[in-house]
Chains A and B, each alone.
Chain A
Amino acid sequence: MPRTKRVEPEKEIKPCNPYLPKLYKILKYNKESSDCFLIRLDYKGSYEPGQFFQVSLPGIGEAPISVASYSSTHLDLNIREVGNVTKAAAKLKKGDTLYLRGPYGKGYPMEKLFGKNLLIIGGGSGVAPLKGVLSYIDKHKDAYGNVEMFFGFRAPEDILFKEDVKQWKSKHNLHLSVDKNPSKKKISCDVCFVTNIVEKAKLNPENQAVFMCGPPVMMKILLGILKNKGFQDNQIYLSTERMMQCAMGVCGHCMIHGKYTCLDGPVFRYDEIKDYTYD
C-alpha cells in the first residue's frame, strides 16, 4: 500500500518578502519650485548617490524616485509632479508617513573614480541625483580633483536647491543657466541652454569623469558636444529613465537591450548602452 501520509513541504517558507515596503516619516517638506518638492525621510540605512527608491502610496501606486542626498541619518527625495503617485505625494506634509522600498540599482561608481576630476552636468529635476553625488564629494573632500558643474533650469523660479546652490558656488566651479527669464528678474546666471555653456567652456578631457542627468534631449546634445571636445564614451556616466516596477530585475518593463535599468542601471557608462538607443 502506498503510504497515505501527506508529504508536508520541507521547510516553512517565511522569507523576507521583497515586495513589502516599509513605513517612514517625513521630517521635512520643502517646495522647491512650481512642480518640484523635496522630502526628507527618517531612513537610516545606507544607499549610494544614483540609486533609487520605490515610493509607494497605498491606493495610488508606486513610483521610482532617485536619492538626492548622501547621509546615514536621513534620505532626501526630490520629486517632480508628473504622474499619479508624484502628484499625490505633493499633497503630503511634514509628519506624514510614506511607504518605501529600496535602495535599488547601481549608482555612480564614486569609489572607482577616486582621484579623478569630475564634470557634473544636470538639467532640471535631473540635478536631484547629482545633489547626492555632491554630498558624497563633500564627505570625501580630498578624494577628487577639480569639480566642475553645469546646471540648467527652465526659469529662475525653477532653480532647485537654492541654498545648496549658494554653497556649491563657493566650494566648486558652478556654472548656472536658465533657458528663459520671462519675469525679467535680476539674476546672476546665463540665459541660455545648459548645453550652450558647456559648449563654450574650456574642458580638458584628461583624467576626467563626466556625470550627467537630465532630459534625454539635453543628454543627446551633450554627448555630441563632449565627443567634439575629445571625451571618450567610457568617461561618461549617464542616468537613464525607464518604467520600473518591481525594481528587482524581473518584471521586464525597464529592459534596455537585455539590461535591466533597475539592476544594471539606472546609471550606465555610456559605452555600455551606446548602441541600444532604439530600445
Chain B
Amino acid sequence: MLKINKASFSDFLTDVMRYNELVAPVMTDNSRFETIKDVSKIDIRIHAYFPAKKFFFKKCQTLFTYYDGKIKVPEIELDKNQRIMIGLKRCDLNSIKRQDIMFLQETKDPYYQEERERTLLIGYHCSEPYDDYCFCSSMDLGDFYDLMLYEKDDAYLVEIGSDKGRGFVDRYRKYFWDTDLYIRPHERRTETRLHLNKREISGLRNNPEWKKEISKCFSCAACVTLCPSCYCFDLYEETNAKLDKVQKKRNWASCQLTCFTKVAGNHVFRETREDRFKHRIFHQIKYFKQKHGMNLCTGCGRCIRGCPTKINWVDMLNRM
C-alpha cells in the first residue's frame, strides 16, 4: 500500500500544479470545484455544493460555427495541460462514470472526450457522511477512480484504480511512501444517516405522498443543475450582430421546465409540475437502471441540499 504524508501534501499539490491544471474543492462564496491558483485554499474534505460535471460536460459548449458557407469545428487542443482533479467524493466519481456511459458509450462526443481524456481523477473517501442529505450508502456505488485517498492519522492511504493512476504515482514517486497500513472493509464504506429503502418504484406512480412534496416544488430546476449525473442538454443557435456567423451551441437543460418537452405548435407533453417531478425521480432511479444496470442517482444529496424548499424525495419514497 502507498501513502502520502499530510505534512508533504501541500508540497505535492504545489508540484502537481506546476505542470498540470489542478482542480479541487474550495470554499468561496459557496463550496465548489475550481481550477486552483493557491494551494492553501484547497480543502479536499469539502463535499462541494456545485458538482464537478462542468469540467467535462460544459454548461455552454460551442459545437461548431457556420461561417462563410462552411462549417467550422473548434480546434481540439492537443497541447492542453493534463488536468488533475482531486477531492472528488465517491458520489462524484460514480456520476462521472454515468456521464461517461452517455457521452462515450452511447455516443462518441468529441467535446466531452477531449476534456475527459486529459483528466486524472483523484478521489477522497468520506469516512463520515458530509451532512444529513447524503444518502450514498443506499445507492450501490462502485469503485471508479484513478487514485483514491483514504484518510488515516497523519497520512492519506492511496489506492490505485487504473493504469493512468499508476503512471501518475510513478511520476510523483518521491511523495508516495510504502506502508504496512491497509484499508479495512468497513473503512471503505460510509454509513449515511439518510437511506433510500424503496428500490422498485414502478407501482408508486399514483401514491398520494407525491402530491404533498410536489406542492412545495417551484420548478426552479436547481435539483437538475446541481445534480452531478444529469446529462440532458439543449441544442440551439446563436447568431452574431452582423448575421454572418452562426454558432451551434449546447447548454444544460432541465426536465423540470415546461419548455423541455415543447414541440412545434406549442404542445407540451409533460405539462404539469407533477409529471415533470416524477419524470426526474423515475429517470434517476428507474429508467437509467433498466438500460444500464445502475441508478443514475449516486446519492450525493445535492438536489435536496440545494432545493429552496428542501423537498426530500428520499424520505418521501420511503414513506410510500
Chain A interface (Cβ within 8 Å of chain B)? 1-4, 6-10, 12-21, 58-63, 82-86, 241-243, 245-246, 248-253, 255, 257-258, 278-279
B71, B79, B233, B290: the one contacting A246 at CB < 8 Å is B233
Cβ-defined contact, A20 with B64, below 8 A: yes
Output the nearest chain A residue to B262 by Cβ-Cβ distance. Answer: A243
Say yes or no for B142: interface residue by CB 8 A criterion: no
CA distance A182 to B117 in the complex (A): 64
Q: How many residues of B contact A (CB 8 A)?
A: 60
Cβ-defined contact, A13 with B110, below 8 A: yes
A60, A82, A248, A250: the one contacting B264 at CB < 8 Å is A82
| Inter-chain contacts of A15 with B (CB < 8 A) | 108, 110, 113
CA distance A264 to B19 in the complex (A): 45
Instruction: Identify 6 residue pairs between A and B in the complex whose beta-carbon atoms are under 8 Å apart, listed by A's number.
Output: A7-B82, A13-B110, A20-B73, A83-B265, A252-B283, A279-B269
Which of B125-133, B170-178, B207-215, B298-306 binds A?
B170-178
Cβ-defined contact, B264 with A63, below 8 A: yes
Say yes or no for B291: interface residue by CB 8 A criterion: yes
Cβ-defined contact, A250 with B102, below 8 A: yes
CA distance A92 to B207 in the complex (A): 52
CA distance A164 to B239 in the complex (A): 40
Cβ-defined contact, A58 with B246, below 8 A: yes
* A36 CB → nearest B CB, Å: 14
Cβ-defined contact, B286 with A2, below 8 A: no
Given A243-B261, A251-B235, A17 and B290 touching (CB < 8 A)? Answer: no
* A268 CB → nearest B CB, Å: 15
Say yes or no for B81: interface residue by CB 8 A criterion: yes
Cβ-defined contact, B107 with A248, below 8 A: yes
Cβ-defined contact, A252 with B232, below 8 A: yes
Given A8-B78, A13-B117, A242 and B287 touching (CB < 8 A)? Answer: no
* B60 CB → nearest A CB, Å: 15
| Inter-chain contacts of A16 with B (CB < 8 A) | 108
B106, B246, B263: the one contacting A242 at CB < 8 Å is B263
Say yes or no for B313: interface residue by CB 8 A criterion: no
| Inter-chain contacts of A86 with B (CB < 8 A) | 264
Cβ-defined contact, B237 with A61, below 8 A: yes
| Inter-chain contacts of A20 with B (CB < 8 A) | 64, 71, 73
**Chain B 228-260 near chain A by CB (<8 Å), digits 1 or 0:** 000111111101000100101000010100001
Say yes or no for B114: interface residue by CB 8 A criterion: yes
Cβ-defined contact, A2 with B235, below 8 A: no
Cβ-defined contact, B264 with A83, below 8 A: yes
Cβ-defined contact, A246 with B73, below 8 A: no
* A113 CB → nearest B CB, Å: 26
| Inter-chain contacts of B189 with A (CB < 8 A) | none
Q: Which B89-145 residues have a C-beta within 8 angstroms of A?
A: 102-103, 106-110, 113-114, 117-118
Cβ-defined contact, B286 with A17, below 8 A: no
* Top 4 A-B residue pairs of the complex, sorted by shortest distance between their CB atoms: A83-B264, A258-B287, A252-B232, A58-B66
| Inter-chain contacts of A3 with B (CB < 8 A) | 171
B64, B232, B283: the one contacting A19 at CB < 8 Å is B64
A17, A63, A246: the one contacting B110 at CB < 8 Å is A17
Cβ-defined contact, B174 with A1, below 8 A: yes
Q: Which B64-86 residues have a C-beta within 8 angstroms of A?
A: 64, 66, 71, 73, 76, 78-82
| Inter-chain contacts of B82 with A (CB < 8 A) | 6-7
Cβ-defined contact, B110 with A251, below 8 A: no
CA distance A62 to B264 in the complex (A): 11
CA distance A186 to B15 in the complex (A): 87
Output the nearest chain A residue to B248 by Cβ-Cβ distance. Answer: A19
Given A6-B19, A12-B78, A19 and B233 touching (CB < 8 A)? Answer: no
* B143 CB → nearest A CB, Å: 23
Cβ-defined contact, A9 with B118, below 8 A: yes
